[in-house]
A and B are shown apart, each in its own frame.
Chain A
Amino acid sequence: MDPIFIAVFFPFAVAVAVPYFANRYRAIAAWMAILAPAVSLWALVLLYGEWSAAGRGALLYSFSWVPSAGLDVSFLVDGLSIMWGFLVAGVAFLIVLYSNSYLHEHEDMGRYYGWLTAFMGSMMGVVFADHLLTLFIFWELTSVTSFFLIGFWSDRKAALYGSQKALLITGGGGLAMLAGFLLLGQATGEWHLSKLIAMSGVAGKVSLAAFVLIILGAATKSAQWPFHIWLPNAMEAPTPISAFLHSATMVKAGIYLLSRFYPILGEHPAWGYVVIGLGMTTMIAGGLLSLRAYDLKAILAYGTISQLGLIVTFLGFGGREAIIGSTLHLYNHAAAKAAMFMVVGIIDHETGTRDIRLLGHLARRMPRAHILAVLAAISLIGIPPMGGFLTKEMLYGVSIHPGGPGEWAAFWPWITLAAGIITALYHLRFLGGAFWTPAEGTEISPKPGHDPPSTFLSAPAILVALAVAFGVAPGLIENTFVAPAAEATLGGGVRLDFHLTLWHGINQPLVMSIITVTTAGFLYWKLDWVSAVLNGAAELWKNGPGPNKAYDGAIFILKERTWPILLSLQDGNLRRYLRWSMVVPALLLLGVGLSMDWGEGIWPAFQGTTFIGASICLLISISAMGTALFPGRLPAILALGTAGYGIASLYIVMKAPDLALTQIMIESASIILFLLAFWVLPEIKIIPKSASRRARDWGIAIFLGVLSAAGMALAMNSHNLRTIADYFIRTTKPIAGFRNVVNAIIVDYRGYDTLGEITVLVISGVAIYAMLRIVGTMQEDGEGH
């Protein structure tokens, strides 16, 4: 089996097996779970070898699934997917390692590791998928599995809310993306990413709608403003999950999608405006929101949103430098942010809170966690010798000479600089709030806290070490992972050869970095001012619209406001149901009828009417009205009978004596039955209807009556073709051997119908039998009526 299939599908196998074993042998749950990323990593190493041996191009693996619908399960292995594969599996490995210390003994480990490994498999599928629908399938699976992970502590209300919100926004965005894919596939006739990348001029064939729909998928997943609102609520997940989903994987799936589509849609005229606009807004908004959060995880969540905005912005700029920078930044951000989340998990675990107002001076009690947090934070701020410094410099450089639409180019460096300053500031606030300054009030954390055992610290330590390594020795990854990934993103067979160093002289980016750090330092010193300004702004905007209000409002409208509308019809009132079922079709029929050209019109239809026929019809109508009008039962039954006998006399006028006879029999029998039944049944009180209701009901009745009469008249008048009746008349005697055509039809030509009708009678009998039986047993039980 090709290693790619092992890399993608093995985690799913583990996901199915873990819950089964975990409930029996709790000790091995974590060891089974770690197999998933471990085996995937091993398969990726093999795959990397295969791919290098094949000249680092694009390798395709596929097996057919629904050949008739052009659907296959196919994987694309190129620089981009290899890099992402290692990122996902690598972080997953550390997360499982960390989870083992984090989870309490009594937690449902089967469920935890099951969904976690399933999520990991889905992410692997997303980054390797070649067929658009394969990509969508794994994409939607990441939304679903993350729903179960966010809601892992399912007895918390906030977990329900957070998981729903994440699912609706990312899953809904996924559906938009599916529509975009379908339109893209339709426009180009091609479903494989590898072919789409190779195809030229795809961007010109894709409609704006398809483009926007695909971007929506990426924007919702990557928590771009205004879809970022799900991410803070998703922090209800256990911390390792947050570290995994919200640092390295799920939120980065949108980044992956944009990188993957860069060579396909990068030329689209809307690309620059839409992607840069999203990214810039998100970058600034995320940073500002982070400054107002008090929960350590929320600070990190908003920080992540801001960082994602940054990466999106650079994908929007496009071009060689921007792509290399954002690719490298993925690594740095993944390593440092996951490490910070893990440190938060440790703080939460050891002190019992994540609120910076309750935490204080942890630097003294948790020195090792402190060091890890500081190193991770300065990487994200962009201070040497961390990897983050490298990428921040590159991105500052790009912002001075950006690609994309030129109109606004003068603003980009300033906005990027502002984002950089905000980023530095919220990281300082994070460190200060947790480690440096005392708790704000008299209330403090439930437990004083101390450094955890080394096993708990090992995973973040590895990540921080990587963050350092990326800065000190970028050569480790630059030509093994970053360059191939950037080549694949740029597309068109570009070959990159570059060498990154921490120090490249005094230039504009370095000046920008220095401004960033000094300004952030100053602002941190005056943090009270910053908070006052931000809180003032928030106070002003308190009643203004916002994405969270829009989401909650939409849910409220859907759940509370639509039901009364539905209920106004669907209220269980049979009379209303009947009215609707009669009037709506009747009106539609009338509308359709009036909209058509009837040729000679309706009036000739009545030409053959005789005086006697018309009189009988009048009698029938009057009797029918009488049935409704008479207050007592007896007169109503008699009126009904009159209508029936009227129909029988119509048959006589039309020279159909056997039909008339049958009708008379039926009418007489039913009148007698009615009379007998009502003899026994008690009198019921009829509640008089109001005049307006009576008028309405009469209106409906007359409308329907006239409509059916008109229809019937038209039908009578449109004998276009010979009917099958001639055959029956001809063959009744010679073939069927009957003297009476009606009898022959009932028992021979259409005897099968009669069988059915008899069965209807039998079933009614059975139903009545059953009813009588139950009435009997009720009386025996003494509860009869």
Chain B
Amino acid sequence: MSMLLPVPVLLPLSTAIALLLVRNHQKLQERLSIVSLAVNLAFALLLLTATAGGEIFIHRMGMWPFPFGIILAADRLTGTMVVLAAAIVAACAVFAQGYLSKNQRREVFHPLIHFQLMGIQGAFMTGDLFNLFVFFEVMLISTYALLAFYYNLDQLEVALKYTFLNILASALFLVGISFLYSQVGTVNMADLSVKIREIGPQPLMVITAFIFLFVFSMKAALFPMHLWLPSAHSISPTHIGAVLAGVLVKVGIYSIIRCATLIFIGPFEKLQTVLMGIALVTIVWGALGTLPQRSLKRILAYSTINQLGYIAFGISLLSPLGMTAAIFYIVSHAFLKSSMLLGAGLNQMLTGTVDLDEMGGMMAKAPYASALMLVGFLSLAGIPPLSGFFAKLFLLQAGFTQGAYLATGLALLMGVISLYYNFTTYQRMAWGTGGNEAREAPAIMYSSVTFLASFAVIFGFGVAWLYEWSQLVAYQITRPELYINAMRNAL
């Protein structure tokens, strides 16, 4: 397996190049793209099963020894995240097949999603902080191109905002890396971990850790760096919004987890307090932001901010229970939110709008589509026995066990608002009469939404599978010496 670690980067990269070469043969390009996504997903599952046993796979690029070259590493967390990325991007690409009509510039769409996938998977696979920066750039530029896909004014504006804010974060990332390098003289994550513990939490190191928190908060859309997210979700093409909500923000969360469990371990109490504060403000901001919206997609966008706050809250507990809850939450939310954004796109296809005031009566007009959305809303509202409920439950348990009563209480209180916005949104969409007439949508769109939505049920009734897996992941990441030793002893 170790030899194969570059596959999640090289496969999308070579596919993207091939797709550019055959851009004039539309059918061939589509098929090639889908086949490659399927192979990629198969490989991700292979990686997941390989990491399940607890082994951490290491691949030294150019065979340079630890800690001098770039080293790829795959533990259970990596395996999990890569599967998420592979599955969701594939489902979104399939969905887009039913969405893009012939003349809408498919020729660059497929290459770009493979480039984006390369950036995402590369970020998950790397064990090198500077290399993470590079893959962030790959993600950034490909996402920019995809956000502005139709080059209409709204999308250009959104893409511009996304890019400006993320370039700011990139600059801060570089500042952070240079701070780190000047203090400990290395960029390998495992080596950083060892050396940062060696010199202890000196003031500058605390500052550096904060810088990284802000950098990754931008990707993870945590307050106050979340500002780009609502319009990026709602104005971009649906399949891009779904990848954004399902996977891209999780790259930021993933990086925060790596910082909290590997790079900056030790007594960084201030950091923990600030992260918890950020998480709570994010939860409240996202919840309140959903209430006055008219656009279905914008509600889902604010809800994403809200949910990311919950995940960050789990991480901020810095306990195995909190990590388990956060991992569970990440997986549950990734499938859930991407299914809901695609569902919103499906409704847009059916009614020609995402404006809730123009919808209504979907329950009667498109029973299956609204049932799919209902599953999503129920899970998002934390209704048992769907996966969203257990995600919140485990988080609350972790919070109470930690003794963080007030913070956990606040998180729970926001659950009431989450009930409100989910159920009223469904009402506005599905109940009553009126609204636009429903048209038809291709079956392929239904199938990808169904695929993603089914996980809300699977991880609800089958909560034990995901919970036990999350425990395994949390067990491994809360023991950084496993990761460090694997890096050190790699052949």
Contacts and interface: CB of A to CB of B under 8 A. Distances in A.
Interface of A: 65-69, 71, 108, 111, 133, 136-137, 140-141, 144, 147, 151, 154-155, 160, 163-164, 167-168, 171-172, 175-176, 178-179, 182-183, 186, 209, 555, 558-560, 562-563, 566, 569-570, 572, 574, 577-578, 580-582, 584-585, 588-589, 592-593, 595-599, 708, 711-712, 714-716, 718-725, 727-728, 748-753, 755-757, 759-760, 762-764, 766-767, 769-771, 773-774
Contacts of A147: 423
A183 B224 contact: no
Q: Is the interface of B mostly helix, strand, loop or mixed?
A: helix
A155 B203 contact: no
Which of A168, A715, A756 gathers the greatest number of chain B CB atoms within 10 Å?
Answer: A756
Contact of B227 (A563, A580, A767): A580
Contacts of A209: 405
Nearest to A154: B431
B203 A596 contact: yes
Contact of B179 (A155, A175, A715): A715
B210 A588 contact: yes
B143 to A, nearest CB: 10
A480 to B, nearest CB: 33
A132 to B, nearest CB: 11
Contacts of A67: 464
B199 A720 contact: yes
Contacts of B203: 593, 596-599
Contacts of B118: 759
Contact of B288 (A566, A751, A771): A566
A741 to B, nearest CB: 12
Interface of B: 13, 20, 61-62, 64, 67-70, 105, 108, 111-112, 115, 118, 122, 130-131, 134-135, 137-138, 141-142, 144-145, 148, 150-151, 160-161, 164-165, 168-169, 172, 175, 178-179, 181-187, 191, 195, 198-199, 202-204, 206-207, 210-211, 214, 218, 224-225, 227-228, 230-231, 270, 274, 285, 288-289, 291-292, 363-364, 378, 383-385, 389, 393-394, 396-397, 400-401, 405, 408-409, 412-413, 415-417, 419-420, 423-424, 427, 430-433, 463-464, 467-468, 471
Given A179-B396, A585-B214, A756 B134 contact: yes
Contacts, number: 265
A763 B112 contact: yes
Contact of B384 (A137, A577, A770): A137
Contact of A749 (B68, B172, B420, B431): B68
B376 to A, nearest CB: 14
Contacts of A763: 112, 115, 138, 141-142, 145
A508 B393 CA distance: 52
B138 A151 contact: no
A524 B69 CA distance: 93
A593 B405 CA distance: 29
B183 A171 contact: no
Given A151-B427, A172-B416, A753-B70, 6 more contacts: A140-B384, A715-B178, A715-B179, A753-B134, A763-B112, A767-B108
A65 B115 CA distance: 41
Contacts of B468: 66, 68
Nearest to B70: A752
Contact of B62 (A66, A136, A168, A748): A748
Contact of B419 (A167, A179, A581, A721): A167
B62 A751 contact: yes
B207 A720 contact: no
Given A577-B227, A718-B204, A711 B179 contact: yes
B230 A570 contact: yes
B421 to A, nearest CB: 10
B207 A593 contact: yes
Nearest to A714: B204
A588 B211 CA distance: 10
B182 A718 contact: yes
A759 B138 contact: yes
Contact of B111 (A65, A751, A766): A766
